[in-house]
Structure 1
Amino acid sequence: MVYRLRKNIPYKFTDNVINGINNLYYLIVTFGVILMILGFWDIEIKDLLTSLSIVAAALAIISKEYVNSIISGIIISFSKEINIDDYVKISGHKGKIIDITLTKISLLNDDDDIIYIPNDKVYQSEVINYTKKELKKVSVDFELDAKYHTTIEMLEAKLIDALKDYKEYIEDDSFNIKIVNLYHDYLSLKFQYKLKEVNREAERMIRRKTIRVIANSIKENEIEKSKNS
């Protein structure tokens, strides 16, 4: 409560420190309940541990990954490398962190899918934090048939025109279509632009619009080809 007041964090919101404290609280409560149950049945902890030493060893091996996730979750919660609402890339998954629990991180990707990644995997993986980098340049990867009837310049002009409603978010003259690779039957391209400031919600809207324009353009190309065949 004191921490929330100092950091001016509303009741319904949270951050890494609050999550870390909550996770520790759940561990302590769970351990306390177990001790209470053992005490209720007059079971001596020392005798119980001795009699269950073999079972405990087996359980330790089985639950190794679970324990690793819990420990990793506590470390991540109190670290400053990633925070809730950060836009990150973890193990090939890109999105916004919406929750950090004892065992996993919840990631909301650009398709509004929630991806759950175990904390131990996050801890051991390479993590790119786009929020920390304040990255303003955005790239949309796509592929085109090598026989696509419209020129790259015309497609670029169509995309720029389609995004004019978002000009308040995008720097002037920052649009560019880059040819990444040229293959026998298709092209690998990137449509790039630079935001005036980091705004993940605006980026998602612009990306969605861009993908739809590209998809519609490809569909129009297929219709045109079928007419000419």
Structure 2
Amino acid sequence: MFTDETKKMNFPVVFILKIIAVIISITVYNMFPATKDNQLLHQVLKGINTFLVPSIVLSILRYIVISVYNARHANRAVRGNFVLGINRLTAVLNTVLFIIAVMVAFGINPVEFVTSLTIVAMAIAVLFRDYITNMLSGLFIMFSDQLSVGDRIKVGEHKGRIVDITFANILLQNEEDDIVMVPNNLVFTNSMVNLSAHRSNLFTVKFELPLYVATDVATLEKEIQSVLINHPNLDANMPPALQVQEIGKDFVRYKLELYAISSSNKLHREVENEVLREILIFEHARTKSS
């Protein structure tokens, strides 16, 4: 699901710098006629323009596509990672343009170079087959609506919330707050469950208490449930579930799973604040009585 931050267009500093650079490059190119003395300069400037001009056009196309997409979905929430996919694809094309520009700057014909290295390119494709298939799988994921950044998924033995999607991996944040890098191919070669597809209203509140306070788990759970059982922003059919995550030397770490009436992050934060305030009151009362 896209947020306002995803849809917001940043100030195009890099785009402006590219325009300035191409203006300077073209000006210098025209100021110095092609001679034997400045042949190298002309070749380098040609390579720079080979990168900058298509890159500027690519940036304009990217801006137009994202603007049109955001305008069409301005009034409704959408799934998928279309904007992320466009940004990643633009980065790849810019990399290809840069490589071609370097060849031109050194006087190498890119078409002849690729043709002469066809066999080598095939060998490279075989060697980097896994990465190439991962990259293609990443593109499929980015431009599909099956997965989105923020979804909770389970792929094989890995389970967590999607933090980012790259050409190589899906970055998952598991319940222990560790970042797990899952290869994109696993999504297509293993069974995958999108836990957010039907449980998008689920959110988790994590907290910890001192060991001497946390001994009375039943009372803590009763106090929390008494506050949330008739909460207007929570699903009455899904009661709060308190779980012990970790017992340390002097603390106990808990996880409370709640089901809201909507998937609004703002609403989730409001309920979370109410829960944490109740926990602070409980801790203060237990500390005072002990």
TM-score tier after normalising by the smaller chain length: 0.5 to 0.7
Q: Which residue of 1 aligns with 2:191?
A: 126
CA 1:158–1:36: 2 relative to 1, 3 Å: closer
**Partner amino acid for 1:6?**
R
User: Cα deviation per residue 1:74-113 (whole Å; 9 max; x = unaligned)?
Assistant: 1111111111211211222222212112222111222222
Q: Which residue of 2 aligns with 1:29?
A: 94
Given candidates 60, 67, 72, the residue that maps to 1:6 is 72
User: Cα deviation per residue 1:150-188 (whole Å; 9 max; x = unaligned)?
Assistant: xxxxx8787445544443346369589xxxxxxxxxxxx
- Contact 1:104–1:117 at 8 Å: present in 2 too? yes
User: Cα deviation per residue 1:15-58 (whole Å; 9 max; x = unaligned)?
Assistant: 50001111211121111111111112221234323443343222
**Pairing of 1:112-123 with structure 2 (within 5 A):** 112-123=177-188
1:91 aligns with 2:156: yes
- Contact 2:154–2:194 at 8 Å: present in 1 too? yes
After TM superposition, the runs of 4+ consecutive aligned structure 1 residues lying more than 4 A away are 135-138, 155-163, 172-176, 198-202
Provide the rounded CA distance (Å) in 2 between the counterparts of 1:197 and 1:45. 57
1:100 aligns with 2:100: no
Q: Which residue of 1 aligns with 2:35?
A: none
Q: Which residue of 1 aligns with 2:45?
A: none
Provide the rounded CA distance (Å) in 2 between the counterparts of 1:6 and 1:134. 26
Provide the rounded CA distance (Å) in 2 between the counterparts of 1:105 and 1:15. 14
CA 1:61–1:173: 2 relative to 1, 3 Å: closer
**Pairing of 1:47-66 with structure 2 (within 5 A):** 47-66=112-131
Report the secondary structure of 2:163's partner residue: strand
- Contact 2:169–2:182 at 8 Å: present in 1 too? yes
- Contact 2:174–2:180 at 8 Å: present in 1 too? yes
**Partner amino acid for 1:74?**
L
Q: Which residue of 2 aligns with 1:44?
A: 109
Report the secondary structure of 1:133's partner residue: coil
Q: Which residue of 2 aligns with 1:17?
A: 82
Report the secondary structure of 2:197's partner residue: helix
CA 1:58–1:135: 2 relative to 1, 3 Å: same
Q: Which residue of 2 aligns with 1:222?
A: none
CA 1:109–1:135: 2 relative to 1, 3 Å: same
- In the alignment of these two chains, the number of paired residues is 179
Provide the rounded CA distance (Å) in 1 between the counterparts of 2:235 and 2:178. 26
Provide the rounded CA distance (Å) in 2 between the counterparts of 1:110 and 1:59. 38
Aligned residues with identical type, % of pairs: 26
The RMSD of aligned alpha carbons is: 4.1
Q: Which residue of 2 aligns with 1:181?
A: none
Q: Which runs of 5+ in 2 are unaligned?
A: 1-66, 204-216, 242-256, 277-290
1:76 aligns with 2:76: no
Q: TM-score normalised to the size of structure 1?
A: 0.60
- Contact 2:200–2:263 at 8 Å: present in 1 too? no
Q: TM-score normalised to the size of structure 2?
A: 0.49
Provide the rounded CA distance (Å) in 1 between the counterparts of 2:72 and 2:133. 32
Report the secondary structure of 2:146's partner residue: coil
CA 1:34–1:172: 2 relative to 1, 3 Å: closer
1:195 aligns with 2:259: yes
**Greater displacement, 23-32 / 50-59:** 50-59
- Contact 1:109–1:115 at 8 Å: present in 2 too? yes
- Contact 1:171–1:196 at 8 Å: present in 2 too? no
**Partner amino acid for 1:22?**
N
Provide the rounded CA distance (Å) in 1 between the counterparts of 2:237 and 2:88. 46
